[in-house]
Every structure is written in structure tokens, then in C-alpha cells.
Chains A and B, each alone.
Chain A
Amino acid sequence: MTVLSITDLNVFFSTEGGDLHALRDVSFDVPERRIVGIVGESGCGKSTLINAILGLLADNGRVGGGGIHFEGHDLTRLGPKEMQALRGPRIATVFQDPMGALNPVVSVGAQMRNIQYRSGLSRSEKDAKSVAILQKVRIPDAGAALARYPHEFSGGMKQRIAIAMALLMEPALLIADEPTTALDATLEVATIELLKELQQDIGCSVLFISHHLGVIAELCDDVVVMYAGEVVERGTTRQVFNNPGHPYAARLLECDPARQSERVRLLPTIPGEIPDLRHRPEGCIFAPRCDRRAPACEARQSELPLQTGHMARCALAEARS
């Protein structure tokens, strides 16, 4: 069973210099109870993808073709009210910055009650649920924590509270946008373990975005590699890490993630820059930075299956694998 299925999604931003094609023909699935990781350099469109799923694109953004299928709905066709009803109870999100993700002037308890506003529970029932989930994320003295404000907690605790809030309604899909980037290494490991534990507990699927290949390898069942708004490769973590088909993915993985020190948080750098997305080339988007460039790269690239469930958007992929 697939929880979330994205097919040929295109997103544009209107800018002064013309339309910016931020996502092009993005397709991938998030199967039930699986953790899907998304990797890619800064600016490759990870946040845009999340916002498109949540129906929270900036005012100048629009979906220009393709579908986002979730629980029988095409999210690109839902009205704002219907989208709002899905956000929270069915699709929950944990954002990168734990310091800024919680409202500073509303108590933790009130924020958690507000999240349950559609549940029909009484105030004390809502609070009981909040306390239970706070205990699960190991917030000490969870009952008293409800009356406290975010600034009274440490960064790691804030991030665990954010995770608790996201899982409060037992969503079918949890989206995590670099949830551990702002934490130090020990906290990062603990948070990842906690996430995995809770995911199995609740039985939800996770869309996990990270810069950290080691974390992806550790946590995720499937991986989607993005470059300049396109999915260049996707497959199970093992397929992609052991046998990358796209030169971009191969370059990312050249340093073995298992040996990557905890301090290496950023993707390995590849010479060159992401092209201007206002003027997309017709051919392979990675070609200007690719050391295996060939005449076939001038043509438009489609996803080539390498194995079942493993594809790469590279004309040369099959020949090499």
C-alpha cells in the first residue's frame, strides 16, 4: 500500500526574471510504514516539495501539472479548507529549527490543545493525550511541562516536543524537514532513534529530509536523490547506496557514509553550481557539472529502471550498471 504517491509534479514560482521551474516531473512513492529519505544540495527544491504536499506554497508559487495522491485525494485539487483539515491529523510536519518552530507566547499545553481542536475531546482529555505523548518523547515531568513555555526548554527538548506535537494526532504521514540539523551529534542520534521508535509505534510513514547521508543510510528504507528540482535517482537505500546509477548520486556517495565522521553534516561538494532554474536546459540538468558527459546528455532524460524499484534519470545509467 502506498500512502503518498507523487506523479510528474511540476512547481513554478513567478519571479521578476520570469517563471522559475522549481520542481520538474517529480515522481516517487512513500509506501505504508516506510521511511523515505530525500537528499540533495541546498536549493534543489526539498522545501518546495514539502510545501507543495502541504498546500502551503508561497503566494507566487503554483503547481503546474502532476498529482500528489494521498488517501484517495489528489492534494493538488483540494480546496484550502479540505487541505487544512488534512494538515495536522493526517499529515504532520516537523521543521528544521526547533528554536523557532514553537510559538513563544503560547504555553506548550495550549499549543497541543489547539492542535487537537477538531478532535471533539474535552479539555482534560486533550491534556491527558498531550501528557501521554510528551512522556513518550521523554520530556521529564510531562504534566508540569504543559504549563511551561517553549523558551523554558533546551533545544533538544524543544525538538522532541515538536515531534510529540506532530505525532499527537497519529498521522498517516510524518514529514520531517531536516529535523536534526540544528542539534549536536549525540542529540541527533538520540532524536533519530526516538523518531524510528515512534514511527514503528504509531505505524505511520515518514518523509525524511536530510543533508546528512549517514543519517539517511541509518534511518531510511528508501532514498530519493534530488538535483535542481528533479528526482535524479530513487530506490531502496541499499540499491542507491550500493549501486548508484546517476553520476550525481555516485559523486555524493563517493565518500562512504559509514566512514563519514559525525562532524561532516553537509553533502560533499561537487564543483560547479546548480543552474538557473528560470532557464532549464532541455537536456540533462546535471550535464554541465558531470564528468561523464556524452552526446546522449543533450536529449531530454527520462527515468530508466535499473532494478525493480530503482531508477535513475540518466541516459548512460543502464550501460554502466
Chain B
Amino acid sequence: MFSYALKRLGLSVAIVSLAMLLLFSMIYLVPGDPAAVALGPRATDAMREALRIKMGLDQPVWVQFWNFFTGAWTGDLGREVLSDRPVAQVVMEQLPYTLALIAGGISWSVAIGIPLGCWAAVKRGSWADRIVGVLSVAVIAVPSFVIAIYALLVFAVSLRWLPAIGAGEPGDLGDQLTHLILPSLAVGLGWIGYIARMVRASMLEVLEAQHIRTARAFGLPENLITFRYALTIAILPTVTLLGVGIGQMLSSAVFAEIVFARPGVGKLVYDAILTRNYPLVTGAVLVTTVLFVLINLLADLIVGALDPRVRSRL
């Protein structure tokens, strides 16, 4: 298990480094002078030259990349243009809100999707199974921003059950959680459908396996067979899918943060693009990439923890 974790960690470092290379070449290849962009049209040539030296743009490309690379790994993502604060600090301030949103979305989708899919598989062919099937397709088909807007209109504006905007009073956990319900549901709802379908399909496959027949032939309780013997295997593809699906969830988090006027990395990037705050955009994208890689690593570790075959293969 330990060496498995170590190998996966090494792979993750390689992936993030590659992402840095790509991000750097993107900034480098984009036409225009970053110093000119940062200073605006009224700056003098001398001011631009001074900033260019300050930003290290007079150095050879490989030195620039090395500085960017080592800086990023040590947590220095440069300074943002508007307030001259460190990008890393600005992004880190917003990150917990997005993490909470994504964790909420995953919680919704896992807590509802896995039991639904499992139930549909155990009762396959029944009305319950058919209803779950139709509902899954329905929630997958509706884009998350549509869900976000409707949830806002129904539960916050008409029914007034839940708050409409913001992330809640800092320090008041209960208030923050009630503010999280609607946006995280908007992020996670489609995933309830995906996961229900995925778990149903793999559960049906596993329930046909010879070892399940053996377990039944030993008279084991149906609950033990369903949850310990079958579901543990059936959720493995779902865990992997969720890891990859974090990318999609991050993009629906942008919508949710805008619609519900929540702070967060999505909202930050959105605002940064509108104000052409490029260091902030690249910094936030890099942090998101690391987040994506870390969550995938976590997903792989969970699969490894659940499946001894995976553990010993590595």
C-alpha cells in the first residue's frame, strides 16, 4: 500500500510539472507583451522596460521557465495585476469555498446515486428500476446552470426555504452549510444520474459473477452479499469516474458560483478574465490543475484500498 501510494504520488508530480510546462508555453506563445498588458496603454517605454526586468522577461526562455517552475513548486505564483497581492494568497483565500462546493456536489451524487443504482440493480426490471432509469437520464440531460437557476427560483425566491446568495456568515458553520445546499445540489445533480446508471450497470455485472453464486450457495445473508461482496466491486469504476469527472464538476462550479454569487475559484477566474488579470488566471488554473490531480490521486488510492488486486499490481 505504501509503495503504491508513493508511485502514484510520483506520477502526480510528473503530471503537474507537465501542466506547468503547458501553461508556461501558453503564456509565452500568447501574442503581446505581458508587461504592456499589465501596465496599460498609458505607460512609458521606460516603465515597461523596468517591469519587464522585474518580471524576468529579459531572460532567456529556459531561465524564465525554470523560474516559473521552481516558483510554482514553492508556492510563488507571482503577483496579480490589480492589487499587487501574491496570486497564491488570493487563490488560496477562495479555494476553501470551491472545495466545499465540490465536496458538497460529490456528497449529493454519492449519497443518492450509489444507493439508487444499487437498489435499481437488485430490483432489476421492476417499476423502481424503470423510474430510476428515467430520472437518471433526465438529470443527466439538464445542464447544471439551468438546474442552478431553477433551484434558486423555486427554493430560495418562491419558497424561501434556503438562502439565495453568498456563502454564509464566516465562522457560522450552520449558516455556511445552508448556503451550500442549493449550489452543491446544482453541481451534483447530474452526477446523481451518472452514478446511479454506472453503479446499476456494474452491479448487474457483478451479481452475475461466480463468486456471488458461491456466496449464495453458502447461505450468506443477502445484505452481506449485496453490500460487502458485490457493491465493493461495483463501485470501483464509479470512484475512478468521479476522479476524472472532477474536471466537469469544477466547470459547473463556475456557473454555480456566478448564479449564487458565491466566492470561489470559479468566480475568481471569471472576474480575472473580465479584468484581464492574467497572472491571476494562470495561477488559479494551475491551482485547479493541482486540485484535479490530487482528487484523482485520492480516487486511485480509494480504489487501491477497496481492491487488493489493484494494490498488489503496483
Interface residues, chain A, with chain B CB atoms under 8 Å away: 54, 56, 83-89, 92-93, 95, 97, 100-107, 114-115, 117-118, 149, 151-152, 162, 165
Quick one: which of A93, A102, A118, A152 contacts B217, CB cutoff 8 A?
Answer: A93
A115–B229 contact, CB under 8 A? no
A151–B218 contact, CB under 8 A? no
A165 to B307, CA, bound (A): 22
Which of A83, A85, A114, A149 has the largest count of B CB atoms less than 10 A from its CB? A114
Q: Which 7 residue pairs of A and B lie closest in terms of their CB atoms, listed nearest first?
A: A87-B219, A100-B210, A88-B219, A149-B308, A93-B217, A88-B218, A84-B219
Given contacts A105-B232, A105-B233, A149-B308, contact A162 B214 (CB under 8 A): yes
A149 to B307, CA, bound (A): 10
B98 nearest CB across to chain A (Å): 33
A105–B214 contact, CB under 8 A? no
A49 nearest CB across to chain B (Å): 14
- Confirm or deny: B211 has a beta carbon within 8 angstroms of a beta carbon on chain A: yes
B217–A104 contact, CB under 8 A? no
A95 to B308, CA, bound (A): 23
A101 to B215, CA, bound (A): 9
Residues of A within 8 A of B216 (CB): 54, 56, 87
A107 to B308, CA, bound (A): 9
B221–A117 contact, CB under 8 A? yes
B218–A165 contact, CB under 8 A? yes
A103–B217 contact, CB under 8 A? no
Residue contacts A-B, CB under 8 angstroms, 12 given: A87-B218, A88-B218, A95-B213, A95-B214, A97-B210, A100-B211, A105-B306, A105-B307, A105-B309, A106-B228, A115-B220, A149-B312
B283-313 residues at the A interface, CB under 8 angstroms: 306-309, 312
Residues of A within 8 A of B312 (CB): 149, 151-152
Residues of A within 8 A of B15 (CB): none
A95–B307 contact, CB under 8 A? no
- Confirm or deny: B13 has a beta carbon within 8 angstroms of a beta carbon on chain A: no
- Confirm or deny: B224 has a beta carbon within 8 angstroms of a beta carbon on chain A: yes
* Chain B, residue nearest A80 (CB): B222
- Confirm or deny: B209 has a beta carbon within 8 angstroms of a beta carbon on chain A: yes
A104–B210 contact, CB under 8 A? no
B219–A104 contact, CB under 8 A? no
Q: A87-B218, A95-B217 given; name 20 further pairs at CB < 8 Å.
A: A56-B217, A85-B219, A88-B219, A92-B218, A93-B214, A100-B211, A102-B214, A103-B211, A103-B215, A103-B229, A104-B308, A104-B309, A105-B232, A105-B233, A105-B306, A114-B220, A115-B218, A115-B220, A117-B224, A152-B312
Q: Interface readout for B18-34 with A: 1 if CB under 8 Å, 0 if not?
A: 00000000000000000
Given contacts A149-B308, A151-B308, contact A89 B211 (CB under 8 A): no
A166 nearest CB across to chain B (Å): 8
Residues of B within 8 A of A86 (CB): 219
Residues of A within 8 A of B210 (CB): 95, 97, 100-101
B307–A104 contact, CB under 8 A? yes
